[in-house]
Amino acid sequence: MTNAPAKISIGDKTVEAPVRSGTIGPDVVDIRKLYGQTGAFTFDPGFMSTAACESGLTYIDGDEGILLHRGYPIGQLAEQSSFLEVCYLLLNGELPSKGELDTFTRTITRHTMVHEQLSTFYRGFRRDAHPMAIMCGVVGALSAFYHDSTDIADPEQRRIASHRLIAKMPTIAAMAYKYSVGQPFVYPDNKLSYTGNFLKMTFGVPAEEYVVHPAIEAAMDRIFILHADHEQNASTSTVRLAGSSGANPFACIAAGIACLWGPAHGGANEAALNMLREIGTPDRIPHYIARAKDKNDPFRLMGFGHRVYKNYDPRATVMQQTLREVFDALKLKDPVFDVALQLEEMALNDPYFIEKKLFPNVDFYSGVILSAIGFPTEMFTVLFALARTVGWVAQWNEMISDPEQKIGRPRQLYTGPVQRDYVAIDKR
C-alpha cells in the first residue's frame, strides 16, 4: 500500500512530499525536494525528528525497550550468540552457518597482529595520555600502514579493511593500556578466542602464564555484544558523515572514536560508577534520590534515563545479570553492588522516575562490572570503542554500497550580519 503524501504549505505554496514506510518504526516524510520546490530548508539541530539515512542494521523502539540487530532481539543474541557471530551478522545481514562462522573466525584471528612499526607510535605519547587520545591517533594512523585496503570503491578492499579494524582493535586497545601502566606489549595469542585474547593482551605479562577466566571471558564477550551497534547515534553518524566524502575507513573510524570520547556519549558509565561509589552505602540512597528530584540541585542519577529509551534499556537487563555472574565468579563483595541494586529498585518505585519514564540505561551497571574485572575507568570508553567498531564499519559499508549515497552536507539558518562593506583599519 502506498502512503498518502504529506502536504507542506509555506506561504502561498503547497507541495507534496512522499511518505515512506520502513519494515517497522515511524514513517518518514521525504523532504529531499523541499528546498528545490519551495526555497525553504527544514531546521532540526540534534536530529530530533530527522532520519539521516536508510538502514537495515539495527532497530530501536525506545517506548517498548526493544533493540534488534538484523531483526534479532539483543537479549537473545547476548544469551545465545558470541561477539564474533554478532559481528558476522551485522556485516553480512544473516547469522552464519557453522562453516561460515569458522571461516570468519579464522579470518579475524589472522588479522590480530599490528604492523610492528605501529608500536613506535605509542612511544611518542606521554605515559599519562588518556587511552582514548591514543586510540584516536593510532587508529587514524592505520591508513598509513594498510594502503592496500583504502580504496573504498573496491568491495574486496572494504571487506579487508572491515576485518582488519575488528581484528586489530583489541590489540590496539590493549597496547594503549599496557603503555599507560608501563608494561611490555603482549602479542596476540591466536589459540585464544577473540575476547580471551583481548583479556590476555590486557592483563597478561610475559613473565607469567596467563589463564583466561571462563566466566570473565563470557561476561566480556557479552558486554561487547551489548555495545556492538546502536543505530544512528552520534559516533555512528560521525563515521557516516566522514565516510560520505570518500575518506578511507581507518580515518572514518578514528573520527567515530573521537566523537565517542565525549562525556555525553561514551563517558556515562564512568560517571555512574563514581556516583555509586560516592553513595557508598544503601542507607544514603534516599538522600541521593531526593537530590535527583530537586529542581534546584543539578545532580542527576547517572545511568538513568535515555534520549531514545523511555522504558527499561534492554541492554541494562543483560548487564544486571552479567554483574551478578561476575561477582559470583570472582567471589567479590563490594558495597557498590548492593547500592546499585537497591538504588535501581527505589528509583523504579518512585513516582518522579515513573512519571518521567526514567529507567536504568546500559551504563548503570557496566562501570561496576568493568571495574570488578580490573579495568581502570579511563579504559571504559576504549572498550566501548572496541565493541562499537563492528557497528561503525557495518554502517559505513552500508552507506558506501547505497546507490543513493551523497556527501553529507547539512544547511543552516544563517543569523550573522547581512552583507556590508569592508572598512579600512584606520577608519574602524
**301 lies in the binding site for ligand ACO (CB under 6 A):** yes
Q: Which three cell numbers stand for residue 12?
A: 502561498
CB of 300 to ligand ACO, least distance (A): 4
Which listed range, 114-122, 241-249, 296-304, 331-339, lies at the site for ligand ACO (CB under 6 A)?
Answer: 296-304
Helical residues (DSSP H) of 204-283, grouped into ranges: 214-226, 234-243, 249-260, 268-279
Per the CB < 8 A criterion, the answer to whether 146 and 198 are in contact is no
CB of 242 to ligand ACO, least distance (A): 20
**391 lies in the binding site for ligand ACO (CB under 6 A):** no
Strand-pair partners of 73: 68
CA atoms within 13 A on the CB side of 318: 25
**344 lies in the binding site for ligand ACO (CB under 6 A):** no
Task: Return the residue of 85, 217, 344, 363 that touches ligand ACO, per CB under 6 A.
Answer: 363
Which listed range, 60-68, 169-177, 248-256, 297-305, lies at the site for ligand ACO (CB under 6 A)?
Answer: 297-305
**108 lies in the binding site for ligand ACO (CB under 6 A):** no
Question: Rounded to the nearest 10 degrees, how much is the dihedral formed by the CA atoms of 413, 416, 421, 424?
Answer: -150
- By beta-carbon proximity to ligand ACO, the closer residue of 361 and 389 is 361
Max distance between CA atoms of the chain, in angstroms, equals 78
Measure the CA–CA gap between 7 and 10, rounded to whole angstroms: 10
> Minimal CB distance to ligand ACO: which residue?
305
Looking at residue 194, its amino acid is: Y
Which listed range, 319-327, 360-368, 372-380, 417-425, lies at the site for ligand ACO (CB under 6 A)?
Answer: 360-368
How many amino acids of this chain bind ligand ACO (CB under 6 A)? 16
**361 lies in the binding site for ligand ACO (CB under 6 A):** yes
CB of 387 to ligand ACO, least distance (A): 12
Q: Which three cell numbers stand for residue 23?
A: 519494515
Measure the CA–CA gap between 363 and 237, rounded to whole angstroms: 20
Task: Return the residue of 84, 138, 316, 358 that touches ligand ACO, per CB under 6 A.
Answer: 358
Per the CB < 8 A criterion, the answer to whether 247 and 158 are in contact is no
Residue carrying the nine cell digits 602479542: 187
- By beta-carbon proximity to ligand ACO, the closer residue of 41 and 299 is 299
**304 lies in the binding site for ligand ACO (CB under 6 A):** yes
Q: x-or-dash pattern for ligand ACO, window 232-271, by CB under 6 A? A: ---------------------------------x--x---
* Other CB atoms within 10 Å distance of the CB of residue 187: 16
Active site residues: 306, 363
Closest CA to 116 of 182, 168, 178: 168
Task: Write the CB contacts of 265 (distance below 8 Å, at least 6 apart in sequence).
Answer: 233, 234, 235, 259
CB of 352 to ligand ACO, least distance (A): 7
Which listed range, 27-35, 132-140, 177-185, 354-362, lies at the site for ligand ACO (CB under 6 A)?
Answer: 354-362
CB of 354 to ligand ACO, least distance (A): 12
**278 lies in the binding site for ligand ACO (CB under 6 A):** no
Measure the CA–CA gap between 266 and 259, rounded to whole angstroms: 9
The residues of the shown chain that bind ligand ACO, judged by CB under 6 A, are 265, 268, 292, 300-307, 356, 358, 361-363
